[in-house]
Amino acid sequence: MVEPILEIRELRKSFGALKATDGVSLDLRPGEIHALIGPNGAGKSTLIHQISGSIRQDSGTIRFLGEDMAGLGMPERARRGLGRSFQISSLAPEFSALRNVMLAVQARQGSSLRFFRPVMADKSLTEPAMAMLERVGLAKRANLPAAELSHGERRQLEIAIALALGSKAFLFDEPMAGMGPEGSKVLTGFLDGLRHEAPILLVEHDMDAVFALADRISVLVYGRIIASGTVDDIRNDPEVRRAYLGEAA
């Protein structure tokens, strides 16, 4: 079997009496989209936060590219290639879309301690950033401040940033949220191709997108994974139907 890119074992995190993550183990393998679904409050975002390093787990291990992430903060993990998007878009609102991506390009080049050369005249920043915006279909909006982009466009911008980082795995937290049906369709097609660049751990409520994209699905309920398998396994799992999918499936 191929070595997983991301390997999570027995992860636990409590907030007081609430077990937000209760012994979660899962893998992300090369070339796959692994979808994480579950009802609101199941602990999906908490899990993403622990993987990306913005909160620390109580116990359990997270290994990324064979390396234990314990003790590494969000910046260190991002530098090692964990690219994430946020459930609520997290951008530099005053900066243009282009400058938001340029920041990622500069971070990847490891060159933030340059004090004099103007960034806007620096083709080694603007050109790769523009290329990423073109890939996600935001090129025409490149000069608008992030705050003036639509909800869906901000999602696309976050993905462009993760791409510009040259991420080796993507953690996308509800990238489709707030997008119209047309937008989700385009993004679904885009993510479909993206998996060959780096595997994606996808938290998503849009079941059409999940069923269309996922190689594997894990279902998280009250901090525990109650089922994990292929799309068909999950569709036909009685416990999942009861706990989450309801009649919708």
Partner 1 sequence: MIARETIINLVLAVILLAVPLIAMAFGEPFYVTLSTRVAILALAAVGLNIALGLGGLVSFGHAAFFGIGGYAAGILATHAFNAEPMLFGFEGTTSMPWIWLIALTVCGLVALPIGAISLRTSGVYFIMITLAFAQMIYYFAISWPAYGGEDGLSLSVRNSFPLINTAKPLPFFLICYALLLLAMGLFALIRGSRFGAALQTARQNDTRLAAVGIAPFNIRLIAFIISAMVTGLAGALFADLNRFASPSMLSWHMSGELIVLIILGGKGRLFGPLAGAMLYVLFEYTLGGITERWQFFLGLILLGVVLFARGGLLGLLAGKARHG
Of positions 45, 106, 184, 218, contacts partner 1 by CB under 8 A? 106
The sign of the torsion formed by the CA atoms of 230, 233, 239, 242 equals positive
Closer to partner 1 by CB, 164 or 210: give it.
Answer: 164
Stretch that binds partner 1, among 14-22, 99-107, 133-141, 194-202 (CB under 8 A): 99-107
Q: How many residues bind partner 1 (CB under 8 A)?
A: 41
List, edge to edge, every strand of the sheet that includes 169-173: 82-85, 169-173, 200-203, 33-37, 216-221, 224-229
Of positions 24, 26, 42, 102, contacts partner 1 by CB under 8 A? 102
E-state strands within 100-223: 169-173, 200-203, 216-221
234 HSE (CA, 13 A, CB side): 26
Least distance between partner 1 and beta carbon 127 (Å): 15
Of positions 8, 91, 159, 227, contacts partner 1 by CB under 8 A? 91
Under rule CB under 8 A, residue 123 binds partner 1? no
Dihedrals phi, psi of 203, to nearest 5 degrees: -95, 125
Under rule CB under 8 A, residue 65 binds partner 1? no
Under rule CB under 8 A, residue 154 binds partner 1? no
Binding residues for partner 1 restricted to 180-239, rule: CB under 8 A: none
Assess contact for 215 and 27: CB atoms under 8 A.
no
**CA pair distance 193, 85, nearest whole angstrom:** 17
Of positions 99, 154, 155, 216, contacts partner 1 by CB under 8 A? 99
Least distance between partner 1 and beta carbon 93 (Å): 6
Closer to partner 1 by CB, 22 or 153: give it.
Answer: 153
Under rule CB under 8 A, residue 170 binds partner 1? no
Angle between helices 97-109 and 123-136 (to 10 degrees): 120
Of positions 40, 66, 112, 193, contacts partner 1 by CB under 8 A? 112
Closer to partner 1 by CB, 73 or 180: give it.
Answer: 73
Assess contact for 9 and 61: CB atoms under 8 A.
yes
Report which secondary-structure segment, H or E, holds 103: helix 97-109
What is the pairing mode between strands 6-15 and 200-203?
A: unpaired
Of positions 6, 97, 103, 220, contacts partner 1 by CB under 8 A? 103
What DSSP character marks residue 248? G
Contact footprint for partner 1 (CB under 8 A):
52, 54, 73-76, 78-79, 84, 86, 90-96, 98-100, 102-104, 106-108, 111-120, 122, 125, 145, 161, 165
